[in-house]
Amino acid sequence: MKIASGVSKTNKFAILKNNEFPTPNRGGIKKSIHREYLNKNFKKPCSIKYGDLNLLVFLCDLIDTQTANELARRIESSSQIDPSVDELISKKMQALI
């Protein structure tokens, strides 16, 4: 049986809409990957930009677990994300580049 057996071919019903951020336990994350991810997702809605489990785990280390948890809750409920949080995350990630 395949791992993805029974999984929808679309993200229509998925809570997390993105799966592009690299897993931290696979040889580390290079700065070029941060830049590439930011450039690709900068203009997208926050629910897609931050709707990646690996990115949320990374944000726990970058900022704090409470902010990442609140971000995940807002993504789940499709609520608007505070612009100051969006700006804070963007600045912290830009500083890593």
Domain ranges in the chain?
31-96
Grade residue 5 by pLDDT with cuts at 50, 70 and 90.
Answer: very low
Grade residue 66 by pLDDT with cuts at 50, 70 and 90.
Answer: very high
Provide the pLDDT for residue 80: 86
Grade residue 69 by pLDDT with cuts at 50, 70 and 90.
Answer: very high
Long-range pairs of 59-66 with CB within 8 A, sequence gap ≥ 24: 59/89, 62/89, 62/92, 62/93, 62/96, 63/88, 63/89, 63/92
| Rounded mean pLDDT, 13-27 | 70
Given a cut of 80, is residue 2 above it in pLDDT? no
